[in-house]
Structure 1
Amino acid sequence: MATAATTQAVAGPSTTSTQDAIAAREAKQRLVEAQKRYGRGKRIHTESIKDKKLRRNLKAVEAKYRDAALKAKDAEILLDNEPGFLEPEGELERTYKVRQDEIKENIGIETAKKGFELKLEELGPYRADYTRNGRSLLLAGRKGHVATMDWRAGKLGCELQLNETVRDAKWLHNDQYFAVAQKKYVYIYDHAGLELHCLNKHVEAAFLEFLPYHFLLTSATMSGFLKYTDTSTGQLVAELPTRQGCPTSLCQNPWNAILHVGHQNGTVTLWSPNSQTALVKALVHRGPVRSLAVDRQGRYIVSTGQDLKMNVWDIRMFKEVHSYSCFQPGTSVAISDRGLTAVGWGTQVSVWRGLFEAAEADQGKVKSPYMAWGGDGQRIETVRWCPFEDVLGVTHDKGFASLIVPGAGEPNFDSMEVNPYENKKQRQEAEVRALLNKLQPEMISLDPNFIGNIDTISDKKRQEERDLDRKPEDPIEKLKNRGRGRNSALRKYLRKKGRSNVIDEKRLKAEALRKEHAARAKEKLRREKEELGPALARFAKKEL
């Protein structure tokens, strides 16, 4: 009995320590997963910070970020809404053969109402845009017809007939304001259709983009300029010449607010308002770039060109991952929140699934599209995904079509970011909050994580860099214009250096300078003697 008790007493602490080690390992793994998915970037290393107060404050901030990531990880069990894709029952069944009427017959009535078509044959082709919360739809016809609507309720907001060419239209920070690129200038209207502003600096804008966190309205003009205007102050922030002629496409990277501009020569340039030259220039096609789109995480870019290709590029390495062929040049491309890629080419719309997953896993190309629509003689103009909905908006030369694409939308939303069900009071509060949290244009860069990071370079290294930049002082330069006489700085320097037997360059230079001074004094004495004459020459002052 004593032996068993002794064995149990010895084995007890060891078992406990093993369990503690396993629990600590699991907690660390859980923290790593939480920070990888919900973290804000790399952790700040506070060990090298000498200021105790700053180090303590930064440790407290890091602890808050760590707790927030863990709580977000624990809240995943509440996100029970998962995307539901179309799944084939057999090997011979293809999802791209499923038609829209078949989808509407097998889904709920309220969801089936989201699929509709608008016939607008006289004033097309049209361009479309959804608000950030997906509630309102903006339609702009090439011949001047502009309309807004609550597409879920089928309620018309406003309708305008501008009687001039409209090239593009874009919602601003909410559904109360939108911008229209008309024949000569860009105009801003409110939700009732009243003209508020005329941006006469944006001349002949071909494409529009809006950066919601910076309140910047951007236009790519036909003259080849990229212009940024702050919609909260009305000031022109930047005017950048692309020097590539008329742009053929424009899109923004939602991860870092960098603008991607496509050109006639097949190149794509990346722009920030802080640089007069392109940050990156990449050749992506062998012909004009027709359309561009960047995924939600800012990792991949999909482009279509006149060379009948659809290319997938990894922005992190600026390397082409896969290339797909189209029967006609792709006129528009868009990427949903769940990674589905819609491409409009000719009279067809193809929706691809798993393009980025295949690139991440280094697998082969996707063999067939996920869904398809069209073929009725309607030339596709633009394709746009509706946020938080399994809806794809397609505009063509005969109107607008709202297609149901299962699994495309993000089912879980953050109401503090964008709220699809916000009321009037919440919209006003969100607008004030967005203005208070507005980011400055100087914060736009390729790496957005540099904001808030601490420069951990030591003071010693900084001092070394300053010493390298500083030119060494030359003592002889200070002695050139000093006083004369036996106690001059030059004579003191020579007497000090004369005690040493080492002959260096500085000493030789000082001696040459002394001889020059002596020769100059001798010449001056001679001139004075000549001026005074033979009788008064003895009164000439001799310099020491």
Structure 2
Amino acid sequence: MAKLSVANMEVEKASKPAPKEKQSLETPEAREEKKQVAEAQKAYGRGKQINIKSVKDKKLRRNLKTLETKYKDAALKAKDAEILLEHEGGFLEAEGELERTWKVRQDEIKENVGIETAKKGFELKLNDLGPYVADYTRNGKNLLLAGRKGHVATMDWRAGKLGCELQLGETVRDAKWLHNDQFFAVAQKKYTYIYDHNGVELHCLNKLIEATHLEFLPYHFLLASVSMNGFLRYQDTSTGQIVAESPTRLGSPTSLCQNPYNAILHVGHQNGTVTLWSPNSSTPLVKALVHRGPVRSVAVDRQGRYMVSTGLDMKMAVWDIRMFKEVHSYSVHQPGSTVAISDRGLTAVGWGTQVSVWKGLFSAAAEDQGKVQSPYMAWGGEGQRVERVRWCPYEDALGISHDKGFSSMIVPGSGEANFDALEANPYENVRQRQETEVRGLLSKLQPEMISLNPDFIGSVDLVKDKIRREERDLDNKPEDTIEKLKNRGRGRNSALRKYLRKKGHSNVIDEKRLKAEELRKQHTERVKENSRREKAGLGPALGRFVKMKS
């Protein structure tokens, strides 16, 4: 009976239908949330999560659970903030194929932006003392204006507050801010002068004679200038010493700019070449023929990769200075008198009474997409001859100085919105400015560090390392210089005499020099002995007529 009942139970179990699969209790909202958490953890997570169930200690398990919850919330918040990371944010975009962004006028932009942004577009009418050149401070807070007929002024352009105003009464060719808004240099008729923010003359740099262009290297505290006679000079503004003075030997330079990446100066010349200079070399590091006529203006982008130049051949050339190769060349209706590159890669070119702003010149060159077909924005046409264009740091504004004053143009998307307060703070107070100045002087770089490759400081010198290895090798016999010269020690201009003449100016007496002098002495005695033997063979009467060998 027992066996039969067991068999009946097995038959009943086999005849019962299989249980249905357990239905999922997750709602669509829960699945969506789980998917978002997985994406956030993949992009912004802190690695593999801890298996909390494997921890036996209750207190530790509770703390770990709280910590994992914090990490999860942080990843979700970072994922939600992706909407703020717009790479192309702020630029003008055309709605259709027939629209062009360069046709948008400044008054239309001012009507459709905020009040504070609209204030960035203004105009200063200075008709009598132009043409003007302009320069912004590194943080973009102050503006410096200098007229050719001697008018110099500084101002806080955001607040419209005048700093100082000078009438020098002589020709002014260029003006440049120094390390902050407290000092600026002015290249006047003969000498270059340094003034403070109140307009008080502090220094007369009588070594910088007839300077036509000025440039300041902020990390080295060097004021660089090129003069009419073709000399390039570096003067340390912290010590007042002339660091280097090099003749370009190519006539009066026509333009000057610095590479922000490695502090190399780019100088344009009358014969269409651009030379690259460092204070460590008396000759140009690189000499490139960029135009078929005189170079008018040169600019280098923030990363130090591309150079844009304009010339009298009515061309605008884009060069990749990593390979020293021309990427593209654009035609301009008139010779470009000035060029500048913003922090976000927009290029402004001033030609005649017009200013053209180009977008995507470097991205098109990097991706080999061909030429950019049309400019991004345009300004001018009112009879104001453009003298210089300069981008305002950390602002969507382009400063245009011309023969009738100064104009500020709003260019959406041109400024870098993210600034490093320890590098350049647009909102710094007096205490922060003082601390930044002291910190900059303490961490000042030496002129010897200026090179085409700024990363050479942390690299290994392979040549010296090879010499050091040879010195440590005990089995390797050192090369004897004197033994090499022993068999070449004959004649008045022998190799041995050259070696002694070369070492004669040194006050250091080493073993090699003593050995060489001893070898030379033996050689001289041998020559005298041979001469004596020849005389002995002829006799005393005829021996005195024999010419002595030196």
What amino acid is the match of 2:139? N
TM-score (normalised: structure 2): 0.73
Could you tell me which residue of structure 2 aligns to residue 473 of structure 1?
Answer: 483
Could you tell me which residue of structure 1 aligns to residue 164 of structure 2?
Answer: 158
Could you tell me which residue of structure 1 aligns to residue 188 of structure 2?
Answer: 182
1:94 is the counterpart of 2:104: no
Deviation of 1:521 after TM superposition, in Å, equals 7.6
Please list, as runs of the form range in 1=range in 2, the aligned pairs for 1:1-40 lying within 5 A after superposition.
none
Structure 2, unaligned runs of 5 or more: 1-41, 47-77, 491-521, 541-550
1:250 is the counterpart of 2:260: no
Please list, as runs of the form range in 1=range in 2, the aligned pairs for 1:502-521 lying within 5 A after superposition.
none
Deviation of 1:405 after TM superposition, in Å, equals 0.2
Deviation of 1:430 after TM superposition, in Å, equals 0.2
Q: What secondary structure, in the 3-state scheme, does the structure 2 residue paired with 1:451 have?
A: helix
Please list, as runs of the form range in 1=range in 2, the aligned pairs for 1:103-502 lying within 5 A after superposition.
103-456=109-462, 459=465, 471=481, 473=483
Deviation of 1:516 after TM superposition, in Å, equals 9.2
Percent identical residues: 74
Cα gap change, 1:358/1:192 in structure 2, threshold over 3 Å: closer, same or farther?
A: same
Deviation of 1:453 after TM superposition, in Å, equals 1.7
Cα gap change, 1:472/1:158 in structure 2, threshold over 3 Å: closer, same or farther?
A: same
Structure 1, unaligned runs of 5 or more: 1-25, 31-73, 481-509, 529-544
Q: CA separation in 2, counterparts of 1:173 and 1:475?
A: 56
Q: Is the 8 A contact 1:81 1:412 kept in 2?
A: no
Q: Is the 8 A contact 1:386 1:409 kept in 2?
A: yes
TM-score (normalised: structure 1): 0.74
What amino acid is the match of 1:93? E
Would you say how many aligned residue pairs link Structure 1 and Structure 2? 429
Cα gap change, 1:224/1:474 in structure 2, threshold over 3 Å: closer, same or farther?
A: closer
What amino acid is the match of 2:216? F
What amino acid is the match of 1:255? Y
Q: Is the 8 A contact 1:254 1:297 kept in 2?
A: yes
Q: CA separation in 2, counterparts of 1:311 and 1:475?
A: 55
Cα gap change, 1:91/1:199 in structure 2, threshold over 3 Å: closer, same or farther?
A: same
Q: CA separation in 2, counterparts of 1:274 and 1:455?
A: 18
Q: CA separation in 1, counterparts of 2:379 and 2:484?
A: 79
Superimposed CA distance per residue, residues 473-530 of structure 1 (whole angstroms, 9 cap, x where no aligned partner)? 26978xx9xxxxxxxxxxxxxxxxxxxxxxxxxxxxx9xx9999699589789999xx
Which runs of structure 1 show a deviation greater than 3 angstroms over 4 or more consecutive aligned residues?
A: 74-83, 456-470, 474-477, 513-528
- Range 222-231 or range 516-525, more displaced: 516-525
Deviation of 1:249 after TM superposition, in Å, equals 0.6
The structure with more radius of gyration: 2
Q: Is the 8 A contact 1:266 1:288 kept in 2?
A: yes
Could you tell me which residue of structure 2 aligns to residue 34 of structure 1?
Answer: none
Could you tell me which residue of structure 2 aligns to residue 53 of structure 1?
Answer: none
Q: CA separation in 2, counterparts of 1:363 and 1:195?
A: 52
Q: What secondary structure, in the 3-state scheme, does the structure 2 residue paired with 1:317 have?
A: coil
Q: CA separation in 1, counterparts of 2:258 and 2:466?
A: 41
Indicate the RMSD between aligned Cα atoms, in angstroms. Answer: 3.2
What amino acid is the match of 1:242? T
Q: CA separation in 1, counterparts of 2:250 and 2:411?
A: 37
Q: CA separation in 1, counterparts of 2:462 and 2:480?
A: 23
Q: What secondary structure, in the 3-state scheme, does the structure 2 residue paired with 1:369 have?
A: coil
What amino acid is the match of 1:130? Y
Deviation of 1:455 after TM superposition, in Å, equals 2.4
Cα gap change, 1:461/1:314 in structure 2, threshold over 3 Å: closer, same or farther?
A: same
What amino acid is the match of 2:245? E
Superimposed CA distance per residue, residues 2-30 of structure 1 (whole angstroms, 9 cap, x where no aligned partner)? xxxxxxxxxxxxxxxxxxxxxxxx99xx9
Q: What secondary structure, in the 3-state scheme, does the structure 2 residue paired with 1:179 have?
A: strand
Q: CA separation in 1, counterparts of 2:171 and 2:442?
A: 36
Deviation of 1:170 after TM superposition, in Å, equals 0.1
Q: CA separation in 2, counterparts of 1:167 and 1:404?
A: 27
Superimposed CA distance per residue, residues 203-230 of structure 1 (whole angstroms, 9 cap, x where no aligned partner)? 1100000000000001110110001100
Q: Is the 8 A contact 1:254 1:294 kept in 2?
A: yes
Q: Is the 8 A contact 1:303 1:310 kept in 2?
A: yes
Deviation of 1:471 after TM superposition, in Å, equals 2.4
Q: CA separation in 1, counterparts of 2:307 and 2:458?
A: 27
Cα gap change, 1:464/1:179 in structure 2, threshold over 3 Å: closer, same or farther?
A: same
What amino acid is the match of 1:246? S
Q: CA separation in 2, counterparts of 1:97 and 1:467?
A: 77
Cα gap change, 1:88/1:245 in structure 2, threshold over 3 Å: closer, same or farther?
A: same
- Range 448-457 or range 291-300, more displaced: 448-457
Q: CA separation in 2, counterparts of 1:97 and 1:87?
A: 12
Cα gap change, 1:336/1:474 in structure 2, threshold over 3 Å: closer, same or farther?
A: closer
What amino acid is the match of 1:308? M
Could you tell me which residue of structure 1 aligns to residue 52 of structure 2?
Answer: none
Could you tell me which residue of structure 2 aligns to residue 45 of structure 1?
Answer: none
Q: What secondary structure, in the 3-state scheme, does the structure 2 residue paired with 1:111 have?
A: helix
Q: CA separation in 2, counterparts of 1:101 and 1:475?
A: 82
